[in-house]
Structure 1
Amino acid sequence: MERISENRIAAQDEEVKLLGIRTGMEPRGYVARQVTALARRGAVLFEEGHPSPWPIHRVTPFEGEFYLLGPWLEGETLEELLPSGGTGTGSVPVWLTAFLRATLQSLDDPDLHPGNIRTCLITRNNGVLLYNLDLARELNRSIPAKERARVHGPYADERLEGGAGRAFQAAAVLYHALCGTAPEARNEEGTSVVTPVHQRNPLVHQPIAEALDLILGGDSREEARLLSGIRKTLETNRGRWLDDVSPEAVEERREAARNRKSVQKQTRKRRSFWRRNRARLLAGALALIVVGSIPVTILRNHLKPPLTEGLGPMELIEGYYRAWTELDHLFMEDAVARGVSRDTIREVTNIYVIDRVQAAHAMHGRLIPPEDWMEAGRPGERVPYGVSDLEVTILLREENVVRAQARYYLWRPASDEEGLNAVLRVAAEDHLELHPTRYGWEIGEIRTRESGAERIPLTGPNPR
């Protein structure tokens, strides 16, 4: 095997030349089995409007990372093609229109996905390589977090699924190609605002800039329609992405975009604060006057729609375990059917109340997410609680049922007899069954199997 670029290698298989596409995944046994199984379904090359299969012959390690090997293709990955200058210019990549056309064509097939900018290849003939959905998700989930934040995070809105999610990803790629940099990734608080297109490149044709701003704003719910509108705009604008405008008009567009971003940011901050803290503020007030165990129903937020509205199966499952760590019992309650995980949600609710009471008398509560605790050097005054090292695998996906497996470590304070000098880290495996509702999906069953507990001192070296 021979490296031909940062993201591609050339290989031989019985004198047949193969292309290897870098995934960024470390060659670990469990990941290897998962990716190899999913890779058997291959990929699809959209070239000149025609889809054709691109079989993945095997998954092979090379220089400490996995590569997907398939028939030879001349081309480069999006990561290699996208500009890195930070600002837009007066030129447009020649592959951009073909990429938009292939993306729109692929939206009719819910099982196709580009993966990320490292795995999506653009051929010399402006063809676009797409993967089956489960393989693409595994590729994005299994790369190291720092790499994922660079090659996937800015181009994805995890709240969106199916055609809407892929339209968002395509819009983010168009933004990067036109503006010279990726759009800002959505932060956990939901207060981030993507810099408007015209603030980075005022030359972009006005209707195209407006459509990209709407899609990447994250609130349009019409991502696919807006993306299709960009193609129609190009047809009426003779294929031109950019306008020929005067220096005065350039500055006017940039200033208008700058003002619009400022207004959006303030609006997003206010909306996010009340959305995320309405129930918590109520819980904090109750915690100051209530002593002892508090039933879930007291703190239940009865406002509809549920917090899980619009989430797909994978996003819902990951959100459920994230909410466990964040003590977000309201999200957990909305994520499951009535009666499911009742004891777990009651535990999270009571721990939440206790932690808020402690926070009322100190600068912060004592509990901390396990991964934050280890990154902070295991401060002895904080106690890790929640889920770490989560790995979710979709086992079955049908119209009315989804089955999944979740592997993780659950961290809890050690028992009273052992004092508060240690925590227990329990290896757990859940089997979940999800069913559709009028708001999206909900978890109808969780079966848990624990394979052992490890007692970890609150101070000392990080556990392996």
Structure 2
Amino acid sequence: MEKQVITLSPGIIKIHEGGNDYLGIRISGRKKNFAVTRYADIRKIHGFILKEDSVELWKILGVKEINGEIYVYGPYYSGKFLSEIINYPPEKALYYILILVRILVALSARSASLSKIYCNGVVFPDDGGTLILPVQLMERVADQISGEERFPVFLSLNNPAFSGDKNLSFALGVILYRLLTGEYPFKGSTEEEVHFQMHEKEAIPPHLKSPGIKKEVSEFIMDALKKEEDKAVPLSEWSEKLERWIKEGFTETLSEQEKDILQKKALEYEKKATRILRFRTFLLRNKAKIVITAVILVVVGWFSSSIVKNALRPPLTAGKSPEEVIELFYNSINELNPQAMEDCVERGVAKELINEVTHLYVINRMRLAYEGQTGFIVADEWVKNGRPALSPETDVYGIANLSIVSEDEGTFIAEYEKWLPVSENETIEAESPVKSVGLIRKDRLYLRRKKDYWIIYRIENIDSRPYHWPDNRAPKKEKSAIPIIPPPDIIRTLPAVLVVSLLAP
């Protein structure tokens, strides 16, 4: 009888030959790449068929060449692949995920736990149980299938920074996120982009992404996606949660108004996460330069008495009104002066923004030392000069058009434009004369008196939208009169010979 081949999942086929069915796993794309001597080692590898009261081995029976590719094959089990189930409605899929979790717990108890989940390597046979195909062979499959096939079955699930139960819990979090929202939490066009997002980007909580999902369910999934390796959600907890969600449901009824509120929060969350990711991408591009400059600054700081002086001096906000404190805070962004920003706020407030300014300050110092220019233009001065076109090597950064309005006692509204460098993968409007992106932002700031000065104890962003250029925008010639961001006193006051010696190769 003629051999029949059916593709079941990426790299996995059903072989019908001689009246029998076999399950084939592709282990080599070309015959010449497969050595017969390796087959003896491969035959020692096996999978598992796990049922409630038994564990059987799925053994390799032989090797076949099919259409120029090498497959090992073993017993065939009619059933559903996990790669198929992740596209089911969640009401139908959760039962299978619960079975998978129980299997993972059972394997862990037998000291045979998996390190990764391959959606094309997990089968739920029609007659019950779970088939786990050999992980060593699934690694081969993942290396050979196309990137488009690899994303949904492996790359989008497993975090290369994690191992053991932490990665399994992370992968389960990704699967549940995909089932409940219809999207993967971390996406990209390349493997590197996906892994970078796993490491750097905060996913939008499921209850914001798809209003109606219970917040408790959303928070548990987000716990599984956390980046801290030492904070893994135990697999046993997954089992308990899934049992309850299957029994009690994972959604709740919301009014249209409640849905609108959550959707707005999701938009704000995504904007913030994207902004942070963009800036971290920018820092990654300049990592080597930042490290070099950071070392220089540490040495410079060793020779400077500014640390002692700063510890003893009164805060820069002393004697200032609340409006002046707010103005100092935002103007310090343009001056790349994180020290002044810290004087304006209580500890922990605006931490990400202060870190952003600190990192840019380091880049600024490095470029000034090595290239004789910083590469950054002050946003406020650039706007006042009519937003002229700039050279590709120059970025706009900082605050412009700042306005401060008193809303209540100790509460103020600040409206402004914020300009940031654009990352390599980010697009800008065709009309833009610069390679920076602008945001129109509105913050609510809360201040209170501390001893004899005012301090900001909370900043709440209440609006943030992109700056759009007019369709008829005609880029102007670059104006040399726009000031480059000035260096702070710690560099300005150093003897030239010391700076030169520190920068010497």
CA distance in 2, matches of 1:114, 1:160: 9
CA distance in 2, matches of 1:21, 1:203: 40
- Structure 1 counterpart of 2:66: 62
- Judging changes above 3 Å, is the alpha-carbon distance between structure 1 residues 38 and 178 closer, same or farther for their aligned structure 2 residues? farther
- Structure 1 counterpart of 2:57: 53
- Structure 2 counterpart of 1:290: none
Contact 2:62–2:73 (8 Å) recurs in 1 = yes
- Offset at residue 130 of structure 1 (A): 2.1
Q: Secondary structure at the match of 2:50?
A: strand
Q: Give aligned pairs, total.
A: 292
- Structure 2 counterpart of 1:147: 149
- Judging changes above 3 Å, is the alpha-carbon distance between structure 1 residues 93 and 161 closer, same or farther for their aligned structure 2 residues? closer
Tell me whether 104-113 or 270-279 shows the greater mean CA deviation. Answer: 270-279
- Judging changes above 3 Å, is the alpha-carbon distance between structure 1 residues 10 and 273 closer, same or farther for their aligned structure 2 residues? closer
Match for residue 206 of structure 2 among 191, 197, 207:
197
Q: Secondary structure at the match of 2:156?
A: helix
- Structure 2 counterpart of 1:103: 104
The percentage of counterpart residues that share the same residue type is 18
- Offset at residue 145 of structure 1 (A): 4.2
- Judging changes above 3 Å, is the alpha-carbon distance between structure 1 residues 134 and 90 closer, same or farther for their aligned structure 2 residues? closer
- Judging changes above 3 Å, is the alpha-carbon distance between structure 1 residues 51 and 133 closer, same or farther for their aligned structure 2 residues? same
Deviations 1:29-85 (A, max 9, x none): 44566687345311012234643211122343434544442112111222233328x
CA distance in 2, matches of 1:250, 1:70: 50
- Structure 1 counterpart of 2:430: none
Q: Secondary structure at the match of 1:223?
A: coil
Give 1:245's aligned amino acid: T
Please list every run of 5 or more consecutive structure 1 residues that lacks an aligned counterpart in the other structure: 288-355, 365-464
Contact 1:207–1:233 (8 Å) recurs in 2 = no
More helix by share: 2
Q: Are residue 280 (structure 1) and residue 280 (structure 2) matched?
A: no
Give 1:99's aligned amino acid: L
CA distance in 2, matches of 1:283, 1:264: 28
- TM-score with structure 1 setting the length: 0.51
CA distance in 2, matches of 1:9, 1:264: 40
Contact 1:11–1:17 (8 Å) recurs in 2 = yes
- Structure 1 counterpart of 2:253: 245
- TM-score with structure 2 setting the length: 0.47
- Judging changes above 3 Å, is the alpha-carbon distance between structure 1 residues 275 and 73 closer, same or farther for their aligned structure 2 residues? same
Contact 1:11–1:20 (8 Å) recurs in 2 = yes
Deviations 1:241-263 (A, max 9, x none): 52242344555544444444444
Match for residue 224 of structure 2 among 215, 222, 226:
215
- Offset at residue 182 of structure 1 (A): 3.1
- Judging changes above 3 Å, is the alpha-carbon distance between structure 1 residues 129 and 280 closer, same or farther for their aligned structure 2 residues? farther
Match for residue 178 of structure 1 among 160, 177, 180:
180
- Judging changes above 3 Å, is the alpha-carbon distance between structure 1 residues 223 and 261 closer, same or farther for their aligned structure 2 residues? farther
Contact 2:51–2:128 (8 Å) recurs in 1 = yes
Q: Secondary structure at the match of 1:118?
A: helix
Contact 2:86–2:93 (8 Å) recurs in 1 = no
- Judging changes above 3 Å, is the alpha-carbon distance between structure 1 residues 222 and 114 closer, same or farther for their aligned structure 2 residues? same
Q: Are residue 80 (structure 1) and residue 89 (structure 2) matched?
A: no
Q: Secondary structure at the match of 1:245?
A: coil
CA distance in 1, matches of 2:113, 2:90: 35
- Offset at residue 154 of structure 1 (A): 0.5
Deviations 1:70-107 (A, max 9, x none): 112111222233328xxx77664542321232233333
- Pairing 1:105-120 to 2, within 5 Å after superposition: 105-108=106-109, 109-110=111-112, 112=114, 116-120=118-122
- Offset at residue 207 of structure 1 (A): 2.5
Please list every run of 5 or more consecutive structure 2 residues that lacks an aligned counterpart in the other structure: 188-193, 297-368, 376-390, 394-505
Q: Secondary structure at the match of 2:140?
A: helix
Contact 2:178–2:184 (8 Å) recurs in 1 = yes
Deviations 1:311-331 (A, max 9, x none): xxxxxxxxxxxxxxxxxxxxx
CA distance in 2, matches of 1:48, 1:176: 28
- Structure 1 counterpart of 2:158: 156
CA distance in 2, matches of 1:41, 1:143: 21
Query: Which has more radius of gyration?
Result: 2
Contact 1:89–1:180 (8 Å) recurs in 2 = no
- Judging changes above 3 Å, is the alpha-carbon distance between structure 1 residues 121 and 237 closer, same or farther for their aligned structure 2 residues? closer
Contact 1:11–1:18 (8 Å) recurs in 2 = yes
Give 1:105's aligned amino acid: A
